[in-house]
């Protein structure tokens, strides 16, 4: 019981903490609010966030089909052309790690192992935070705008 309670608090914290930093998942032009290119980054990131939230909802309600389908959808999103916003070895590694975490969630859900699925979800969340930190820390530019200022 204690472990399950701790795990749920960890999940909530992992999801809630990034949302305190920024209300949107997309950097904007400091001069006027135009979303950064390519044009499909903003919708893609919104879909990514929606799927991640759906996984959390599925975990809290033990809806294994919902967990698996949203993990699968996230993995497939990561293969879309709009996902590959930069071409570096580190970004490729980050994307591979993300896909592995999605697969781990999906397999755990298929096995109806809620604890393994929850731990894999924490890993997925860490992958997201690590990649976004990498993008900011290395001042990688998208469409001419510096992400560290957003």
- 131: tokens are 């990649």
Q: Each residue of 94-130: pLDDT tens digit?
A: 999 999 999 999 999 999 999 999 999 999 999 999 9
- Between CA 118 and CA 45 the distance in angstroms is 22
pTM for this prediction: 0.68
Q: What pLDDT score does 45 carry?
A: 84
Confidence of residue 88 (pLDDT cuts 50, 70, 90): confident
Distance, C-alpha 87 to centroid of its chain: 19
For 24, residues 6+ apart whose C-beta sits below 8 A from its C-beta are: 42
């Amino acid at each position: 019981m204690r472990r399950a309670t701790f795990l749920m608090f960890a999940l909530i914290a992992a999801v809630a903490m990034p949302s305190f930093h920024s209300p949107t998942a997309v950097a904007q032009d400091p001069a006027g609010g135009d979303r950064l290119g390519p044009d499909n980054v903003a919708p893609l990131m919104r879909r990514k966030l929606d799927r991640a939230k759906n996984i959390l909802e599925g975990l809290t309600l033990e809806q294994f089909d919902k967990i698996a389908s949203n993990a699968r959808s996230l993995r497939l999103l990561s293969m879309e052309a709009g996902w590959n916003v930069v071409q570096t070895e580190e970004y490729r590694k980050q994307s591979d790690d993300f896909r592995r975490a999605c697969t781990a969630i999906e397999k755990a859900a298929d096995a109806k192992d809620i604890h393994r699925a929850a731990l894999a979800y924490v890993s997925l969340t860490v992958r997201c935070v690590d990649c976004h930190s990498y993008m900011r820390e290395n001042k990688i530019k998208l469409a001419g705008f510096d992400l560290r200022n957003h």
